[in-house]
């Protein structure tokens, strides 16, 4: 089987952690590296958490890189109110022993995309887009070499989750998001419209808890962020955002969307970081994104549980 080469760009984050575990559990994917960025918590913690997750998976050989410690043009906004002080609150796991790579994540992204055959590496950003945009800005020659970007971010009918208009990943670094959305790369977007349909519930969390060695940790993470999200959304469970990207690579038929134009708001204080998604195709702006709107949630959670149990 030819494995699909991917790089996960991340700010773990409990849902990021599940996305990393899903990739590590999937033989169809070759995880070339995990690039960390400041987001849910500061960079030092995201780079630590990514390694905790790789060790939990029994994969300490995974290459983990630290990247940008702040957005391109703004002060960092974090989300400890959702993810806890460590970013990975839930179960207490040991500090990582595996080393952090010394190369900067942006240099790793550029070097890898230049080295690997053109069109063979897919990027999965599940965090503010600072690392990816910095790489594109510094080395525009990498753009046509990227197979596809499958990212979690934005919202259309669902509005925002950090402001009424903006989703967290895009809001934290809108200038970076604009660079990525304008790059002309094949782009698939998992916005809140789809992730808010990928909700945990008791049965799904209990299935996680019983999913092999990593199951109890995964259930403890979902238990942790559920508390906040259930209150916020008044729903039975919480959205498991970031693994949608990796699940899409494994089982695209679980998802459906539309190829539309999406622009990023970088000017307005009121709607900063909004993904202005032309779902009804009322503008004449050229489509630039496969904007996902729906998921077979049962199939998604079954896939996650089945894969996590393999670790
Ligand atoms: C996104 O923001 C982060 O808090 C999550 O990890 C996810 O990437 C959801 O808006
Ligand atoms: Ca994330």
Task: Residue 43: give its domain's CATH number.
Answer: 3.90.245.10
Query: Which atom of ligand 1 is nearest to 239's Cα?
Result: 9
Domain count, the chain: 1
In testing the pocket of ligand 1, which one of 9, 10, 12, 13 has its CB within 8 Å of the most ligand atoms?
Answer: 13
Q: Distance from the CA of 10 to the center of ligand 2, in angstroms?
A: 6
Q: What is the DSSP letter of 73?
A: S
Whether 15 is in the pocket of ligand 1, judged by its Cβ within 6 Å, is yes
Whether 173 is in the pocket of ligand 1, judged by its Cβ within 6 Å, is no
**Structure confidence at residue 255 (pLDDT):** 99
Radius of gyration, alpha carbons of the chain: 18
Query: Which atom of ligand 1 is nearest to 168's Cα?
Result: 10
Q: Which domain holds residue 128?
A: 4-308
* Maximal CA-CA distance, the chain: 53
Cα separation, 302 vs 51, whole angstroms:
26
Cα separation, 62 vs 99, whole angstroms:
10
Whether 40 is in the pocket of ligand 1, judged by its Cβ within 6 Å, is yes
Cα separation, 14 vs 257, whole angstroms:
26
Pick the ligand that lies closest to the CA of residue 40.
1
> Whose structure tokens read 């702040």?
70
Instruction: List the catalytic residues.
Output: 241
Cα separation, 300 vs 43, whole angstroms:
29
Name the 3-class secondary structure at 216: helix
Tell me phi and psi for residue 48, to 5 degrees.
-75, -45
pLDDT tens for the chain, residues 1 to 311: 899 999 999 999 999 999 999 999 999 999 999 999 999 999 999 999 999 999 999 999 999 999 999 999 999 999 999 999 999 999 999 999 999 999 999 999 999 999 999 999 999 999 999 999 999 999 999 999 999 999 999 999 999 999 999 999 999 999 999 999 999 999 999 999 999 999 999 999 999 999 999 999 999 999 998 887 777 788 788 999 999 999 999 999 999 999 999 999 999 999 999 999 999 999 999 999 999 999 999 999 999 999 999 99
Query: Which atom of ligand 1 is nearest to 83's Cα?
Result: 4
**Structure confidence at residue 225 (pLDDT):** 86
Whether 161 is in the pocket of ligand 1, judged by its Cβ within 6 Å, is yes
Q: Which residue owns the Cα nearest ligand 1 atom 4?
A: 40
Cα separation, 272 vs 264, whole angstroms:
8
Whether 152 is in the pocket of ligand 1, judged by its Cβ within 6 Å, is yes
**Structure confidence at residue 15 (pLDDT):** 98
Cα separation, 63 vs 81, whole angstroms:
29
Distances (CA, A) of 105 to 7, 66, 142, 225, 301: 11, 5, 15, 28, 31
Q: Distance from the CA of 286 to the center of ligand 1, in angstroms?
A: 27
Cα separation, 231 vs 224, whole angstroms:
12
Q: Distance from the CA of 302 to the center of ligand 2, in angstroms?
A: 21
**Structure confidence at residue 234 (pLDDT):** 80
- The residues, any chain, with a CB within 8 Å of residue 306's CB and separated by 6 or more, are 211
pTM of the model: 0.98
Cα separation, 220 vs 248, whole angstroms:
24
Whether 82 is in the pocket of ligand 1, judged by its Cβ within 6 Å, is yes
């Amino acid at each position: 089987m030819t494995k699909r080469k991917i790089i996960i760009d991340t700010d773990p984050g409990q849902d990021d952690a599940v996305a990393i575990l899903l990739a590590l559990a999937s033989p169809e994917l070759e995880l070339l590296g995990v690039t960390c960025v400041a987001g849910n918590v500061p960079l030092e913690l995201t780079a630590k958490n990514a390694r905790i997750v790789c060790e939990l998976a029994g994969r300490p050989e995974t290459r983990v890189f630290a990247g940008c410690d702040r957005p391109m043009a703004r002060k960092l906004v974090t989300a400890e109110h959702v993810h806890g002080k460590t970013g990975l609150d839930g179960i207490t796991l040991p500090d990582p022993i595996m080393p952090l790579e010394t190369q900067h994540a942006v240099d790793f992204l550029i070097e890898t995309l230049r080295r690997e055959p053109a069109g063979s590496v897919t990027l999965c950003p599940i965090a503010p887009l600072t690392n990816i945009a910095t790489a594109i800005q510094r080395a525009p020659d990498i753009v046509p070499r990227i197979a596809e970007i499958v990212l979690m971010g934005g919202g259309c009918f669902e509005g925002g989750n950090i402001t009424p208009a903006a989703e967290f990943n895009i809001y934290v670094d809108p200038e970076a998001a604009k660079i990525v959305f304008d790059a002309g790369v094949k782009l698939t977007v998992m916005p809140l419209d789809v992730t808010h349909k990928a909700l945990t519930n008791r049965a799904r969390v209990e299935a996680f808890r019983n999913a092999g060695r990593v199951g109890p940790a995964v259930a403890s993470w979902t238990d942790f962020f559920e508390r906040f999200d259930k209150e916020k959304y008044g729903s039975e469970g919480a959205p498991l955002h970031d693994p949608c990207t990796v699940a899409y690579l494994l089982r695209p038929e679980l998802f459906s969307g539309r190829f539309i134009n999406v622009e990023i708001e970088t000017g307005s204080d009121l709607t900063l970081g909004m993904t202005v998604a032309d779902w009804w195709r009322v503008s004449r702006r050229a489509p630039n994104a496969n904007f996902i709107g729906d998921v077979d949630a049962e199939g998604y959670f079954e896939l996650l549980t089945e894969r996590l149990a393999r670790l």
